[in-house]
């Protein structure tokens, strides 16, 4: 049985929502993902890396000089991260807090980068309008 937690593709009028545990090869092979986004992944995102890398693993090890970083920045992608905090629920109890981050906010935050083993990515939100601004 496949573990399909956080492996989804959902679209509305303005956005595409990708599950954080999708691999780039699953995105490319999925017919529910718009053709342009699959093409962007093929041409720009997976150059020089294993296509079986998940989005979750990739964002924590992305290089600011890489093409993938530039694409995420251009797309203004929003990453929904579950971050473990001592006051996760606002009641003084430890737990996970869900927040939305852009790629720069993740890479420039030393607390997030230090705790990358306890953080998991639930979803990536990509604007269809921003996606139209990328030529392939």
Q: What pLDDT score does 36 carry? A: 95
106, 130 in Cβ contact below 8 A?
no
For 103-129, how does the pLDDT look when each residue is reduced to its tens digit (9 = 90+)? 999 999 998 888 888 888 999 999 999
| CB proximity list for 102: less than 8 A, separation 6 or greater | 73, 76, 77, 78, 79
User: Is the domain covering 9-132 a CATH 3.30.70.890 domain?
Assistant: no
In the chain, where the domains are located: 9-132
Low-confidence spans in the chain with pLDDT less than 70: 1-3, 88-90
**78-85 vs 9-11, strand pairing mode:** unpaired
* DSSP structure class, residue 40: H
pTM over 0.85: yes
Q: C-alpha distances in angstroms, 70 versus 73, 86, 87?
A: 5, 33, 34
Residue 52: helix, strand or coil by DSSP? coil
Rounded to 5 degrees, φ, ψ at 74 are -65, -40
């Amino acid at each position: 049985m496949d573990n399909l937690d956080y492996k989804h593709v959902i679209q509305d009028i303005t956005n595409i929502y990708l599950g954080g545990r999708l691999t780039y090869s699953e995105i490319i092979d999925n017919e529910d993902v718009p053709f342009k986004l699959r093409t962007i992944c093929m041409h720009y995102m997976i150059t020089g890396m294993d296509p079986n890398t998940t989005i979750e693993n990739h964002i924590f090890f992305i290089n600011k000089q890489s093409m993938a970083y530039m694409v995420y920045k251009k797309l203004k992608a929003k990453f929904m991260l579950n971050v473990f905090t001592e006051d996760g629920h606002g009641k003084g109890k430890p737990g996970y807090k869900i927040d939305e981050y852009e790629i720069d906010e993740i890479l420039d935050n030393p607390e997030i980068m230090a705790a990358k083993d306890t953080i998991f990515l639930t979803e990536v939100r990509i604007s269809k309008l921003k996606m139209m601004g990328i030529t392939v």
